[in-house]
Structure 1
Amino acid sequence: MSTATVTPEVVTGAPTSTAPVNLTPAAIAKVKEIMSTQDPVPAGLRIGVVGGGCSGFQYSMSFENQSGMMDKVYKFDDLKVFVDATSAAYLSNCQVDYVETLEAAGFKFENAAVKSTCGCGSSFSV
């Protein structure tokens, strides 16, 4: 499975050279596959950070039909990714991959800013 990232194109928002989050080709392909099964097909994917979990923060992913007023929109191989300004600070240099193993399959977040995670791996602190 490839772990290379795809350089995003900034669609809206303040000028920036890089997105706060990068998606691997495997993650992009899986999101596109899931989106294609939705009716109606969503406009894009929202990636964010929300309060919660035993360590303080959790990653969130959801489909959206439009961006919010405070969002920046990035395009990865024609996949629009919406990131709100608050989440962008916590996602800086974060990479999202899609991994399939014998035990499980899912999206994996690699974030260098994370100081600790909980035992179950679903929440983190910075």
Structure 2
Amino acid sequence: MITITEKAASKVKEIAAAESLEGQGLRLRVVGGGCAGFSYDLYFEDAIGEMDEQYESNGVKLYVDPLSHQYLEETEIDYVEGVHGSGFKFNNPNVKGTCGCGSSFSA
């Protein structure tokens, strides 16, 4: 199961409304890159792929491809605001290490 917190869901809905993307799902992907090996990718998508897993959490549809799913199982997506900026934070129990800046991970 992959979930999104109420705060993150609220931000996703706010962005979707501002960009006229209401009704679309949020695509979650793990892509190669960054100094630790993998990074997260989020974007809106209007159709689910044939092999995708679909979740719904706090009113947000989440689409995950099979390859990314193995790295995202049991992940919770949150939205944080702090002194150094704001953004989506992945609380991922599958992560074995992160880079110094926190923008990529290893599994």
TM-score normalised by the chain length of structure 2: 0.91
Which 5+ residue runs of structure 2 have no aligned equivalent?
none
Identity %: 48
The equivalent of 2:16 in structure 1 is 35
User: Which of these residues, 75, 80, 83, is aligned with residue 61 of structure 2?
Assistant: 80
Larger Rg, first or second structure (1 or 2):
1
Q: Which residue of 2 aligns with 1:67?
A: 48
1:98 equivalent in alignment to 2:82 = no
Call closer, same or farther: CA 1:40–1:25 in 2, change over 3 Å.
Answer: closer
Q: Which amino acid aligns with 1:81?
A: L
Give the structure 1 partner of residue 98 of structure 2. Answer: 117
Q: Secondary structure at the match of 1:119?
A: coil
Secondary structure of the residue aligned to 2:79 is: strand
Q: How many Å apart are 1:53 and its aligned residue?
A: 0.9
Q: Which residue does 1:55 correspond to in 2?
A: 36
Structure 1: gaps (5+ residues) = 1-18
Task: Give the 3-state SS of the residue equivalent to 2:19 in structure 1.
Answer: coil
What is the deviation of 1:42?
5.3
Across the aligned residues of Structure 1 and Structure 2, the Cα RMSD in angstroms comes to 1.3
Change in 2 beyond 3 A, CA 1:118/1:40: closer
The alignment covers a number of residue pairs equal to 107
